[in-house]
Structure 1
Amino acid sequence: VIVQRSLSAKNLSHAKGGSVLGGYLKIFPMFFIVMPGMISRALYPDEVGCVDPDICQRVCGAAVGCSNIAYPKLVIELLPDGLRGLMIAVMMAALMSSLTSIFNSSSTLFVIDIWQRIRRKASEQELMIVGRVFILILVVISILWIPIIQSANSGKLFDYIQSITSYLAPPITALFILAIFCKRINEPGAFWGLMVGLAVGLVRMILEFIYSTPSCGEEDRRPAVLKDLHYLYFALILCVLTAIVIVLISLCTPPIPEEKLVCLTWWTRHRKAPTIDLKNYKSRAAQINPADGESALVESTDSAKPPCWKMLYLWFCGLSTGPTPTLSQEERAALERRLTSIEEKPLWKIVCNVNAILLLTVNVFLWAYFG
Structure 2
Amino acid sequence: NHLKNDFYVVSDTGVHLNINCVCVCTHIQVIVQRSLSAKSLSHAKAGSVLAGYLKLLPMFFIVMPGMISRALFPDEVGCVDPEVCLSVCGASVGCSNIAYPKLVVELMPVGLRGLMIAVMLAALMSSLTSIFNSSSTLFTLDLYHKARPKASERELMIVGRVFILVMVCVSLLWIPVIQTANSGQLFDYIQSVTSFLAPPITAVFLMAVFWSRTNEQGAFWGLMTGLVVGLIRMVLEFSYVIPSCGQPDHRPAILTDVHYLYFALILLALTCLIIVVVSLATAPISEEHLYRLTWWSRYSQEPRLDLAGHQMTSDPVNSDLSPDSDHLPDSWWQRAALWLCGLTGSYSGSVSPVIENSELNSLKEKPFWRRVCNVNALLLVTVNVFLWGYFA
The TM-score range, normalised by the shorter chain, is 0.7 to 0.9
Counterpart of 1:100 in structure 2 is 129
The aligned amino acid for 1:34 is V
What value does the CA root-mean-square deviation take over the aligned residues?
2.4
How far apart are residue 57 of structure 1 and its match? 1.2
Do the aligned partners of 1:65 and 1:154 also contact (CA within 8 Å) in 2? yes
Question: What is the alpha-carbon distance in structure 2 between the residues aligned to residue 238 and residue 301 of structure 1?
Answer: 49
Question: What is the alpha-carbon distance in structure 1 between the residues aligned to residue 58 and residue 190 of structure 2?
Answer: 13
> CA distance change for structure 1 residues 258 and 218 in 2, over 3 Å: closer, same or farther?
same
> CA distance change for structure 1 residues 266 and 320 in 2, over 3 Å: closer, same or farther?
farther
Counterpart of 1:85 in structure 2 is 114
> CA distance change for structure 1 residues 268 and 129 in 2, over 3 Å: closer, same or farther?
same
Counterpart of 1:317 in structure 2 is 341
Question: What is the alpha-carbon distance in structure 1 between the residues aligned to residue 125 and residue 269 of structure 2?
Answer: 34
Question: What is the alpha-carbon distance in structure 2 between the residues aligned to residue 164 and residue 202 of structure 1?
Answer: 9
How far apart are residue 10 of structure 1 and its match? 2.3
How far apart are residue 32 of structure 1 and its match? 1.6
> CA distance change for structure 1 residues 273 and 315 in 2, over 3 Å: closer, same or farther?
farther
The aligned amino acid for 2:260 is Y
> CA distance change for structure 1 residues 183 and 82 in 2, over 3 Å: closer, same or farther?
same
Report percent identity of matched pairs. Answer: 68
Structure with more contact order per residue of length (Cα contacts < 8 Å, sep ≥ 6): 2
Question: What is the alpha-carbon distance in structure 1 between the residues aligned to residue 65 and residue 245 of structure 2?
Answer: 23
Greater share of helix: 1
The aligned amino acid for 2:358 is R
Counterpart of 1:126 in structure 2 is 155
Do the aligned partners of 1:13 and 1:352 also contact (CA within 8 Å) in 2? yes
Counterpart of 2:100 in structure 1 is 71
Q: Give me the TM-score of the superposition, normalised by structure 2.
A: 0.82
- SS of the aligned residue for 1:267 comes to helix
How far apart are residue 317 of structure 1 and its match? 3.4
Larger radius of gyration: 1
Question: What is the alpha-carbon distance in structure 2 between the residues aligned to residue 344 and residue 211 of structure 1?
Answer: 53
Which residue among 183, 196, 204 is the counterpart of 1:167? Answer: 196
- Is 1:346 the counterpart of 2:367? The answer is yes
> CA distance change for structure 1 residues 60 and 272 in 2, over 3 Å: closer, same or farther?
same
How far apart are residue 12 of structure 1 and its match? 1.6
Question: What is the alpha-carbon distance in structure 1 between the residues aligned to residue 326 and residue 114 of structure 2?
Answer: 50
Counterpart of 1:337 in structure 2 is 357
Do the aligned partners of 1:11 and 1:339 also contact (CA within 8 Å) in 2? no
The aligned amino acid for 2:370 is K
Do the aligned partners of 2:328 and 2:344 also contact (CA within 8 Å) in 1? no
- Is 1:366 the counterpart of 2:371? The answer is no
Do the aligned partners of 1:311 and 1:321 also contact (CA within 8 Å) in 2? no
* Structure 2: runs of 5+ lacking an equivalent: 1-29, 306-315, 317-321
The aligned amino acid for 2:233 is R
> CA distance change for structure 1 residues 86 and 264 in 2, over 3 Å: closer, same or farther?
same
How far apart are residue 8 of structure 1 and its match? 2.6
How far apart are residue 58 of structure 1 and its match? 1.4
